[in-house]
Amino acid sequence: MKFQPRLTIIAALLGAAVAGCASWPSPEANQQLERARAAYRNAAADPAVQQHAQAELQSASGALHDAERMAQEGKPTELVQHNAYLAEQRAQTAMRTAEIRRSEARIAAAGEQRRQIQLEARERETIAARQREAAAREQARKAEEGRREAEARAALLENERLEKDRQASASAGLTAEVKRLESELADLRAKETSRGWVLTLKNELLFDTGGSELKPGAERALDNLVQFLEKHRDRSIAIEGFTDSTGSKEQNQLLSEKRAWAVKAALVKRGIASNRIDARGYGPAFPVASNDNAAGRQLNRRVEIVIDPS
Amino acid sequence: MTRITLIPLAALALAACATTDPPEREMGAARAMVSQARPIAEKDAPQELAEAQLKLGRAEAAMQRKHYEHARILAQQAEADAKLAWTVAENARMQRTANEVQDANRVLREEMERKSQ
């Protein structure tokens, strides 16, 4: 009986040796098997693993089946644990492999995105360049417009200045002309009145008493006037005959008219166009002096030559 | 931090029921995978890489002691760990890159919006 325990141990050892491969999985092996199953379930549930890490998943599956089978067949617990370990590591590898594919897809998408951004940036740059160009053109156009406007203004001012100069010089010319005319008329002994320049010729110089024919010497009294009219062909004249109040009014009227016509005839005869000469008589009207005395009456008997202002 | 603790009795048991050819294919795959993962995983998955390197070292040791079944198991786990390390690191890198590209796009867009104002 003393040797019995030892015999039991020997028997157990022998049993183990005889059984060889037949043993129950250890707790460690069972835990490993549990981890392998969980890892495999996770991996197999991921579609990306199914799609991108199929080979790795299959080798995990193979190892797991081996482990399960060995556990059922009572194969050494170390072999069960070993295959379960391989199954777990391969399932993890499959998961990470799928993860790598996802990252690769992200990188590819980012590359495409980068190209899109660059494309958009180029488009925006093109648009911005066009806008800058258009703005520059608009600016140049406005500058040109401003320049033209300034030129037009300057030209307008220059024209106004030239016009003023022209008017000034014309008016200066006119003034000179008037001055010359005035001096010439003064030579004629004409007087400036509200009707214009008036040259008064005394009847005694031109006509016999009661007559309407010019006296032979009267022509010379008209010389200066003829010269003036020849020089200033744009001028017209009015010849007006007047008498004193002696005698009948009708006779005096007729006499004054005849005398005015006689002067006109003399001027026409000397080459002055008749349409430049208006001749009429006023009789005793518009006396320039009193008819009560001889001196006054002498002044009233007269022919007035009125030179039109223009 | 290895999850596998092989007690001597289990080693005996394994030796009793496994073939004993040297696991050259598994060793090669583990070495290759660890080499591939190391450059990027050193920075972005150091824990997973350390696990893989530890197991590969133990697998090499087991090979020298001609514990081939032990070596096969360690080599397979080292390969799986190294692959996970590489994947974790690669994933971290990719996520960083994706974020950077998206950030760059955001900056680019902001710059464009600012310019066209």
* Partner-chain residue, chosen from A78, A113, A120, that has the shortest CB–CB distance to B10: A78
A85 and B10: CB-CB below 8 Å?
Answer: no
Instruction: Give CB contacts under 8 A, 24+ apart, made by A185-194.
Output: A185/A228, A185/A307, A187/A224, A188/A224, A188/A225, A188/A228, A190/A305, A190/A307
Query: pLDDT at residue B33 above 90?
Result: yes
Helix (H/G/I), strand (E/B), else coil: B72: helix
Which residue ranges make up each domain of chain B?
Answer: 20-90
Contact B22, B58 (CB under 8 A): no
* Partner-chain residue, chosen from A79, A103, A120, that has the shortest CB–CB distance to B94: A103
- Judging contacts by C-beta atoms under 8 Å, the chain B residues touching residue A85 are 3-4, 77, 80
Contact B51, B29 (CB under 8 A): no
B77 and A82: CB-CB below 8 Å?
Answer: yes
Q: List the single best residue of A52, A103, A114 to mutate versus B (max B Cβ within 10 A).
A: A103
The Cα of A58 is separated from the nearest Cα of chain B by a number of Å equal to: 14
Mean pLDDT by 10 residues, chain A (310 residues): 47 44 76 96 95 94 96 92 96 95 92 92 90 94 94 93 86 74 71 77 81 81 84 88 90 91 91 91 89 88 83
- A 10 A CB-CB count for B31 gives 17
Helical H runs in A188-239? 203-206, 218-231
Residue B3 forms contact with A (CB below 8 Å): yes
Contact B85, B52 (CB under 8 A): yes
CATH numeric code, A179-307: 3.30.1330.60
Query: pLDDT at residue B94 above 70?
Result: yes
The Cα of B9 is separated from the nearest Cα of chain A by a number of Å equal to: 9
Those of residues 53-112 in B touching chain A at CB distance below 8 A are 73, 76-77, 80-81, 83-84, 87-88, 90-91, 94-95, 97-98, 101-102, 104-105, 108-109, 112
Bridge partners, residue A198, by sequence:
A191, A306
Identify the pLDDT of residue A310. Answer: 58
Identify the pLDDT of residue A11. Answer: 45
Tell me which chain A residue has its CA closest to the CA of residue B83: A93
Identify the pLDDT of residue A235. Answer: 85
Residues A133 and A131: their CA atoms lie apart, in Å, by 5
- Judging contacts by C-beta atoms under 8 Å, the chain B residues touching residue A32 are 3
Task: State the helix-helix crossing angle for A77-187 and A54-72, rounded to 10 degrees.
Answer: 160
Identify the pLDDT of residue A98. Answer: 95
* Partner-chain residue, chosen from A92, A104, A124, that has the shortest CB–CB distance to B84: A92
Which tens digits make up the pLDDT trace of B34-82? 999 999 999 999 999 999 999 999 999 999 999 999 999 999 999 999 9
Q: Which residue has the higher pLDDT, A173 or B93?
A: B93
The Cα of B89 is separated from the nearest Cα of chain A by a number of Å equal to: 9
- Judging contacts by C-beta atoms under 8 Å, the chain A residues touching residue B6 are 78
Helical H runs in A236-302? 249-269, 294-300
Query: pLDDT at residue B95 above 60?
Result: yes
Identify the pLDDT of residue A16. Answer: 44
Q: Which residues of A touch B (CB under 8 A)?
A: 16-17, 20-21, 23, 28, 32, 75-79, 81-82, 85-86, 89-90, 92-93, 96-97, 99-100, 103-104, 106-107, 110-111, 113-114, 117-118, 120-121, 124-125, 128
Query: pLDDT at residue B1 above 50?
Result: no
Residues A307 and A300: their CA atoms lie apart, in Å, by 20
Residues B59 and B26: their CA atoms lie apart, in Å, by 10
* Partner-chain residue, chosen from B10, B95, B105, that has the shortest CB–CB distance to A76: B10
B95 and A89: CB-CB below 8 Å?
Answer: no
Residue B55 CA from chain centroid, whole number: 10
Contact B101, A111 (CB under 8 A): yes
* Partner-chain residue, chosen from B12, B95, B112, that has the shortest CB–CB distance to A121: B112
Tell me which chain B residue has its CA closest to the CA of residue A117: B109
The Cα of B65 is separated from the nearest Cα of chain A by a number of Å equal to: 19
Q: Which residue has the higher pLDDT, B4 or A289?
A: A289
Contact B16, A21 (CB under 8 A): yes
Give the contacts of B109 (CB within 8 A, at least 6 positions apart): A117
The Cα of B106 is separated from the nearest Cα of chain A by a number of Å equal to: 9
Give the contacts of A99 (CB within 8 A, at least 6 positions apart): A48, B91, B94, B95
Residues A274 and A285: their CA atoms lie apart, in Å, by 25
The Cα of B57 is separated from the nearest Cα of chain A by a number of Å equal to: 17
